[in-house]
Amino acid sequence: MKETLAELERWGADVIFGRAKGFRASMMRLAMSALSGVYRGLVQTRLLVYRRRWRQQHHLGTLVVSIGNLTVGGTGKTPVVELLARTLRDEGRRVAILSRGYKSRRLKTPQNWKDKDGNKLPPDKMPKVVSTGRALLLDSKFAGDEPFMLARNLNGVAVVVDKDRVKGGRFAVGQLGADTLVLDDGLQYLHLAHGIDIVLVDRSAPFGTGAILPRGTLREPPRNLCRASYILITKCDGTPNDALIERLRRYNRVAPIIECTHGPRYLEEVFTGEHQPLDFLKDKWTAAISGIAVPEGFERSLEKLGARVEIRRRFSDHHRFSRKEIDKFMERCIERDMELVVTTEKDAVRFPRPKEVIVPVYFLRIEVEILKGHDDWSDLIARLCHPGAPGDPVLRHRDAYAM
């Protein structure tokens, strides 16, 4: 059953991205197009409900920064969340990341937590605490891929998972002492008020496939970019983005636009932690395996670094690899005389150890670097770390800046 559902999910993605051909795929795209109109109406109605305050947003009396996008996956959001959280931490903020924990498993029993008075917190008040900032408490199975990865990479930053980000935020502020909440994938989460909305736009596919869900990968129409406080163009390669910036300005005339690259930094062996420089890939016969939204970008990165990518194994986004799948894949790599296996960092956190590690398995470490808009990025950090003018919408509650 699990394998059948995974196959259907992969086929659905192929239909959306145009990779699936034939009569059945064409009929499915036609049906999805009709549903996209309904979805668009629901999205805009929901925004109107919150804009008119027919449904109230929650204000937690602290600084809330949302990082999100208009499309489903593929914009490089997690490295940006990591960069922002690390920078704010280094500037003295007490940061907690709030995540939905997409495809994470439910805990059989809530974690045991006592408040400052020694009283056990009721289960309905307990989110999943992935990290307190000092200790890592959950693995990727119960935390989710990105929350676990962020918690592992960010000492001193708490990570809390709950579909109800208001509950997670209250816990982070009240129990973990957070004074800054970073809302991971938060543009569409309107139940919690945001002081700042950072919206990411992938340079190579700024509005995804150009169609609204379920026919395409857009969660909202492009005109909703007007809600962005800052726009980050991701995955830049140093060439001018004038045409894209002109297009973005049709929807948002005032938000500072920052250009950045998601560049590979090094390779890390999944099971030993050994690091290798990027030129280690040059002319190596390589097998690429991933379970991400846009595997083509990952595979192109390996080729640009000189790898000879001979085997490409793709799973659906957030797929949890089974030992059987990995053993079968490794057997194929051995038969084809592969010199190494490379996966993504997100996939590495749920990569089971194969029966025999004959071919070494590495993940490609990706980090964000600001290419243009350094002053705007510095202004953003300063705005978040220091009190501003009383009219600044970031200041939902000035006590949030008490250090």
Q: Which residues are annotated as a binding site?
A: 71-78
Task: Give the integer Cα–Cα distance in Å for 139 and 144.
Answer: 8
Three-state DSSP class for 204?
coil
H/E run at residue 345: helix 345-348
**Contacts (Cβ under 8 Å, ≥6 apart) of 263:** 366, 367, 368, 369
Residues linked to residue 181 through DSSP beta bridges, in sequence order: 64, 96
Strands 180-184 and 128-131 turn out to be unpaired
Phi, psi of 368 (to 5 degrees): -90, 140
> By CB neighbour count within 10 A (0-12 exposed, 13-18 middle, 19+ buried), where does 349 fall?
buried
Task: Give the integer Cα–Cα distance in Å for 107 and 358.
Answer: 35
**Residues flagged as binding site for ATP:** 71-78
Cβ-contact 170, 124 below 8 angstroms = no
Task: Give the integer Cα–Cα distance in Å for 314 and 347.
Answer: 11
> What is the helix, strand, coil percentage profile of the chain, to 5?
35, 20, 40
Residue 18: alpha-carbon gap to chain centroid: 24
Q: DSSP H helical segments within 195-294, as ranges?
A: 242-249
Using N-to-C axis directions, what is the helix angle for 77-90 and 145-153, rounded to 10°? Answer: 30
Phi, psi of 400 (to 5 degrees): -65, -20
In degrees, rounded to 5, the angle at the alpha carbon of residue 201 between the alpha carbons of residues 260 and 66 is 90
Strands 128-131 and 158-161 turn out to be antiparallel
Residues linked to residue 125 through DSSP beta bridges, in sequence order: none
